[in-house]
């Protein structure tokens, strides 16, 4: 259902008229050596936010940092493989020592192993580990470090419209996941475990899971559900948690196909992450459209 509340757009005057952030505002972006993550880092750096570009591969990460330096932008770098709990631990220890506090976390890193018209679940475990367990573990490890005031801290999870709960055709699972009042972490974990066991048993096609990019869609449904839960748990505590689907974007994930560029998608993402505190919602799911309008579910 589309919201009747005013929707942020590119020309939203509020972003630039109430610049609440400064160079002391610290943002972390995962999976930022290319694609939408790199463009988000670039946008934050252009807007004067202190930003940590993270990537699972040091060489690829440093190359991305160099590309930004060539454009006159300075960013920090640290290796972070979100699918590896040890890497998350090492990163968080480094971050705590160097920066102490965090204002913005963009969980962007993700994988899909399918071509646009394929639907194999051969890599389902890696997809779930990278796209759901990784951001969840990282978020939990960073939660004590959010500054929370004077401005509201923010988590923006880059999810997908493929992770909309309506994609679930199994009505029992859909009703559990959609029930915001009763939803628990255990229920989300159970859904993911059930999917992985259906994959192992070879029964996943008949169990009402999403029809397109099934493993990826389940990972994003889980991340969307976790985001809603986290938003609810932190309501009124100075931490906002929202999701953003960048739309069909020209990156490696789509083999360069899409209706707009990573820079376009990141411009909207950065705007959402930087909404003025008084306009910042929590527990919302934003979707970018092909005309680069953005709506809120
Ligand atoms: N493109 C679209 O149409 C579209 C649509 C909806 C949602 N999204 C979402 O947008 C986000 C960005 O995707 P993209 O389109 O920019 O794809 P992309 O160009 O493939 O970028 C994905 C990034 O994630 C990184 N990554 C993968 N596994 C990682 C791990 N274990 N730890 C840390 N980083 C890891 C990749 O690093 P490597 O270079 O090392 O692989 C890469 O930097 C994703 O969450 C995706 O699901 C994209």
Provide the strand spans (E) within 117-257.
153-158, 239-245, 249-250
Residue 40: alpha-carbon gap to chain centroid: 11
**C-beta 108 within 6 A of ligand 1:** yes
Q: What is the reported pLDDT for 297?
A: 81
As a whole number of angstroms, the distance between CA 12 and CA 272 comes to 10
- What tens digit of pLDDT does each residue of 177-213 get? 999 999 999 999 999 999 999 999 999 999 999 999 9
Q: In which band, very low, low, confident or very high, does the pLDDT at 18 lie, cut at 50, 70 and 90?
A: confident
Counting from 1 in the atom list of ligand 1, the atom nearest the Cα of 82 is 32
Atom 1 of ligand 1, residue of closest alpha carbon: 249
Q: In which band, very low, low, confident or very high, does the pLDDT at 2 lie, cut at 50, 70 and 90?
A: very low
DSSP string, 36-56: HHHHHHHHHHHTT-EEEEEES
Q: What is the reported pLDDT for 6?
A: 47
Domains in the chain and their CATH numbers? 13-166+219-296 (3.40.50.720)
- What tens digit of pLDDT does each residue of 221-262 get? 999 999 999 999 999 999 999 999 999 999 999 999 999 999
Query: In angstroms, what is the span from residue 200 Cα to ligand 1's centroid?
Result: 25
Q: What is the reported pLDDT for 1?
A: 34
**C-beta 269 within 6 A of ligand 1:** no
- What tens digit of pLDDT does each residue of 149-172 get? 999 999 999 999 999 999 999 999
Interhelix angle 214-233/134-142, rounded to 10 degrees, is: 20
Distances (CA, A) of 292 to 47, 99, 266: 20, 34, 11
Q: In which band, very low, low, confident or very high, does the pLDDT at 63 lie, cut at 50, 70 and 90?
A: very high
User: 290: closest CA among 258, 254, 268?
Assistant: 258
Residue 18: alpha-carbon gap to chain centroid: 24
Task: Spot the catalytic one: 16, 216, 244, 286.
Answer: 216
As a whole number of angstroms, the distance between CA 164 and CA 241 comes to 16
DSSP-derived letter for residue 234 is: T
Q: Taking all residues of the chain, what is their mean pLDDT, rounded to a whole number?
A: 94
Counting from 1 in the atom list of ligand 1, the atom nearest the Cα of 131 is 45
- What tens digit of pLDDT does each residue of 93-138 get? 999 999 999 999 999 999 999 999 999 999 999 999 999 999 999 9
Give, for 238, the enclosing helix (H) or strand (E): none
Residue from 30, 37, 83 whose mutation best tests the ligand 1 pocket (most atoms within 8 A of CB): 37
Compute the average pLDDT of residues 45-61.
98
Cis peptide before 150 (omega within 30 of 0): yes
- Whether 216 is a known active-site residue: answer yes
Task: Decide if 77 contacts 62 (C-beta within 8 A).
Answer: yes
């Amino acid at each position: 259902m589309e919201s009747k509340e005013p929707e942020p757009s590119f020309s939203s005057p509020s972003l630039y008229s109430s610049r609440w952030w400064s160079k002391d505002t610290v943002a972390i972006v995962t999976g930022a050596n290319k694609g939408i993550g790199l463009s988000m880092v670039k946008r934050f750096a252009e807007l004067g936010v202190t930003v940590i570009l993270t990537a699972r591969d040091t060489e690829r990460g440093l190359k991305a940092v160099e590309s930004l330096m060539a454009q006159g932008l300075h960013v920090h770098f640290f290796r972070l493989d979100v699918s590896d709990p040890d890497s998350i631990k090492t990163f968080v220890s480094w971050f705590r020592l160097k920066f102490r506090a965090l204002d913005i976390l963009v969980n962007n890193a993700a994988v899909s192993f399918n071509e646009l018209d394929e639907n194999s679940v051969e890599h389902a475990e890696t997809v779930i580990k990278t796209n759901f367990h990784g951001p969840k573990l990282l978020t939990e490890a960073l939660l004590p470090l959010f500054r929370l005031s004077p401005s509201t801290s923010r988590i923006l999870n880059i999810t997908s419209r493929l992770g909309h709960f309506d994609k679930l055709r199994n009505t029992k699972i859909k009703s559990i996941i959609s029930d915001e009042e009763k939803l628990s972490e255990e229920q989300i974990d159970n859904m993911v475990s059930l999917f992985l066991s259906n994959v192992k048993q070879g029964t996943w096609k008949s169990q009402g899971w999403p029809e397109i990019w099934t493993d990826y869609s389940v990972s994003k449904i889980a991340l969307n559900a976790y985001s809603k839960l986290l938003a609810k748990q932190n309501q009124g505590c100075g931490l906002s948690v929202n999701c953003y689907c960048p739309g069909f974007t020209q990156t490696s994930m789509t083999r360069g196909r899409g209706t707009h560029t990573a820079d376009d998608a990141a411009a909207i993402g950065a705007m959402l992450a930087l909404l003025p505190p008084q306009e910042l919602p929590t527990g919302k799911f934003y979707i970018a459209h092909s005309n680069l309008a953005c709506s809120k579910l």
